[in-house]
Structure 1
Amino acid sequence: MLDMSDEALAVVERSFTMDVRAECWLGGELITDAIPVTDGSEDRDRSLGVPERISLTVPRRDRGVTWDPGADPAHPLAAYGQQLRIDYGVQVGSHWEWINRGWFLITNSDVDGDTVSVELQGLLTLIDEAKLVAPFQPSTTDTLASTARALVEPALTCAFDGALVDRAASSSMQWDSDRMEGLNDIASAWAAEYRVTEDALLLWAPLSDTGDPVLTLTDGVGGTVIRWQGSTTREGAFNVVVSQGEDSAGNQIQGVAYDEEAGSPFLYGGPFNALPVPYTESSPLLTTVAQCRTAARATLQRLRRANGRRLGVTMVPHPGLMTGDIVSVTGQGLRAAPCVIESLSLPYSPDEMSLTVRVLPS
């Protein structure tokens, strides 16, 4: 969860006064800190390559300033590299507390009558659109960390959690055009995940869905509504992950992870199928059996995000919540069940917030 004072946390548990502040930067320079946002919303879904989407509504003219970008490539709402820093304000007594929701790239601005509609995406858009102009291979001295840096910097700056242990990257690995594919291959082999922080860093950390709940959600309390959601299918289901690699002698190696999570509908040895139903992946970045086993366990954990039991939550907006946060849920047959936020929609006006949370094993 984003940093908030105890006073602000107490305020957002009930009705409160909010505001949105947006400032524009271009080429590392502040253009304006006073974009008049009248409405909007922020959507995050960590199953997407670029998880963040924001829509803003801005008056075409406000206090003598024209917010129609027209043909001006340096206008604060133009889509030529302009980045907005978005802060969500909560009134605490006689002052405002501002929660930084992050930095976002303007992708489109449309004028309709007296309003300007601005669309933004997360900064991983810079990597997603920047295809490689020639095949890329790590050198014999590159590591996983240095390879990640080579794929994204200087568009984004990488930061690495101290719990990640760097290691050599195989020079037999090659990516033809897709930088994001390279990042995902590194994350899979490293048993890691990456995200853009609110300070615009690309943070790499061990893959994890554990931690203490940052918030308790109870069905019917404070206007919170909790409902089961989703559908079921056998298509694409599995109960075993097989991660394959190649050792220094050129021999194929592999590691296996079985779905043994209590309560999993795909439990290995359970009613789903008495035989192994494998999900198989292969990467030259895996050079030992231990690395293959670690990657298999991480991939199993990552794939659970797509097929776990889900709840839809509507509630009073909470500007500190982010995808990946752990919350405690009571309702719909659950009692203080740990859940992880997989997606959210935060309104930039007085309205309800919605979450999709995945139930974790107790």
Structure 2
Amino acid sequence: MRPVSPRWGATLARSHGYVSAVTSWLGGKSLGAVPITAGQLTYDVTARGRRRCQLTVPLRADGRTWDPGTDPAHPLASFGQRLQIAAGIVHPGGDREMIPQGWYLITDTATDESAGTVTVTGSDLYQLMDESRVVGNPYGGFGPESSYADVVDHLTYVCLKNWWITDPQILPYRITGGLTDRQLAAYLEIPEQADRSDPLAVLCDSWPAQAAVNDAGELEISPPVTAPAATAVAVIAGDTRTGTLVSRGRQQARQRVYNATYTVGTDPGTGAVRATGRAERTTGPLSITGPYGWVSRWYSSPLLATNGQAQRTAETLLARGTLYARTESVTAVPDPSLELQDTVDVITTAGGRFRGLVSAITLPLTASGPMTLSVTTDTGAPA
């Protein structure tokens, strides 16, 4: 959950104003505020680039035309322009509390003259990782003399160097959450023209870790979140006078759920197996010996050098594989302080209490309606 003032919860639970701010940037220079008549942010934990924005801008406002036309330096052109977005609430007395929602690379701009609007679509800065293939790696990879951070530094260099941000505290990448760097266990091939996302995924699976662009525009490497925390950061309640929940639904599905993982570490030269790990659900409704069946995932990597490392990877993958056993769809008062993988409690009289991780968010940027959340957890975990 993003930091908020002590007044946040009380204001959110009663009638209040809702506001947002959008600023365009190009090459480290602010191009000014962008007026919007509608817009939303979409967050999805299953995507590599977890954030997207879509904005509706009036064709003419604030004394200017917002159609970029043939001007590559226009605030809404797609020549490297970035949008910095914040959303917040208005407290009693009129003061605003704004919460940063990150940076977005403009990917598409469409002008509709008859409607008098310009539609702008953007994605978080992971888009730059996807678009830029590896250049300037004469050795074709990294060996045991290199660390995980060395590889991340190479993969983010240039495409996420963030020279366009003047704040020296903002880095291309940041390792957080107590995650420690370590040496590679084997040669990791990253030849020229290679996709940057694939070796990053290999690193994260064997670390284990997760990678996502944060609000500052950095690629943040952090420990994987595989289960709700013991304490919820927010309660989304209905059936009460101060609740923020509008509606609630539930679903269960076998899709993306597996109950056994097997990991193999291979010698990069010979292909021989040198490490193995296994993790299986042997009790509860997802037991491999029960009616659910044996739904397995196999994973192989040259970076798994020891049985202990292979076992940790197997356990992490299994936790991810059982996380989507049950999902709640929640419609609630917009709360821009919530983040992906926050632990929340959803409470109604009919459905009771459900504690889970936020896996998707659709957040409006204008006072046009509620936000929607997907909250998921492994409800089949053994006691």
Q: Secondary structure at the match of 1:213?
A: coil
> Which residue of the partner structure matches residue 168 of structure 2?
none
Q: 2:345 aligns with which of 316, 323, 328?
A: 328
Q: Cα 1:134–1:257, aligned 2, differ >3 Å: closer, same or farther?
A: farther
1:301 aligns with 2:301: no
1:89 CA displacement? 2.8
1:160 aligns with 2:180: no
Q: 1:290 aligns with which of 308, 320, 327?
A: 308
Contact 2:206–2:303 (CA under 8 A) maintained in structure 1: yes
Q: Cα 1:334–1:149, aligned 2, differ >3 Å: closer, same or farther?
A: farther
Distance 2:257 2:222 in 1: 27
Q: Cα 1:268–1:31, aligned 2, differ >3 Å: closer, same or farther?
A: same
TM-score, length basis structure 2: 0.86
1:145 aligns with 2:165: no
1:134 CA displacement? 7.8
Distance 2:128 2:63 in 1: 33
* Superposed CA offset, 1:130-179 (max 9, x none): 12358841144211121112111233311112522222224532245221
> Which residue of the partner structure matches residue 46 of structure 1?
45
Deviates more, 1:335-344 or 1:108-117: 335-344
Distance 2:59 2:96 in 1: 26
Q: Secondary structure at the match of 2:142?
A: coil
Distance 2:198 2:287 in 1: 29
User: Counterpart of 1:301 in structure 2: which amino acid?
Assistant: A
Distance 1:80 1:40 in 2: 21
Q: Secondary structure at the match of 2:188?
A: coil
Deviates more, 1:309-318 or 1:90-99: 90-99
> Which residue of the partner structure matches residue 163 of structure 2?
none
Percent identical pairs in the alignment equals 31
1:359 CA displacement? 2.8
1:210 CA displacement? 3.6
Query: Which sections of structure 2, spanning at least 5 residues, go unmatched?
Result: 161-171
* Superposed CA offset, 1:59-113 (max 9, x none): 1111212211111111111111111110113111221111111111100111112
Could you say what the CA RMSD is over the residues aligned between the two structures, in angstroms? 2.3
Contact 2:59–2:67 (CA under 8 A) maintained in structure 1: yes
1:11 aligns with 2:11: yes
> Which residue of the partner structure matches residue 341 of structure 1?
358
Q: Secondary structure at the match of 1:191?
A: coil
* Superposed CA offset, 1:198-253 (max 9, x none): 111111111123422111123444353111135445xx753210111036996412
**Pairs within 5 Å for 1:200-211:** 200-208=217-225, 209-211=227-229
1:304 CA displacement? 2.7
Distance 2:203 2:297 in 1: 18
1:360 CA displacement? 4.3
Give the count of matched residue pairs. Answer: 354
Q: 2:259 aligns with which of 218, 228, 239?
A: 239
1:123 CA displacement? 0.8
